[in-house]
Amino acid sequence: MEKRKLDKSEDTLYIAPVDTQEDIRTISLYGDVDEKTCGDLVAALSYLQDNATVFRLEDPQDENSKILKETRPIKMIISTPGGSAAEMFSAYDMMRYVKETCDIETFGLGKVMSAGVLLLAAGTKGKRKIGANCRVMIHSVMGGYHGSLSNMENEIIEVRWIQERYIKCITKETNLSEKQVRKMFKKHVDTYLSAEQAVEFGIADEIV
């Protein structure tokens, strides 16, 4: 560990350098889940993961004190109407990868809808918070079809694949069963949840 040398009269004092300012380790997803937003999000998650582990002296004034290893969490604030399923999966997979080495503390505010629900739920279990007035909305995957009949049939197959993956991921991250999720989707309407219901379903852990 690098040290600074301070001279005081005839004495020499060695102390470990101490950061004067903590790194900012809070990121946010505000707005649509789209290519630009998720591209920035994935890059930020990667950077913060690389800088998650730090070493500190138990007593910064004593160079002989115990060296402590600390893995700092990432705080991720989410407020979104939803968006692209492909970009949702890119952010989700990156979150899963990052959680192998450091916690991600998610915090839902305002509205967490559609693709945003999976990202809120993907935070580290026990460290997923939601605002008391946050509104959560979940619905089935939607797609637009155009072109030839063959092309539309192909698009339907793809949308079904995306929906099956989404169901599996949601059930993995929450208390919801596949049966419950499919029942929601069969209504063909948006399902709105309160903060209390989001905690009950395991989308979040704590209301703040």
Q: Which residues are catalytic?
A: 114, 139
Q: Which amino acid is at 111?
A: K
Please name which of 84, 95, 81, 82 lies closest in space to residue 159, comparing C-alpha atoms. 84
- Residue 77's Cβ-count burial label (10 Å; 0-12, 13-18, 19+) is middle
What is the number of H-type helices and E-type strands within the chain?
6, 11
Please name which of 71, 70, 174 lies closest in space to residue 130, comparing C-alpha atoms. 174
First to last CA, the chain: 40
- Tell me the CB-side half-sphere exposure of residue 1, using CA atoms within 13 A: 21
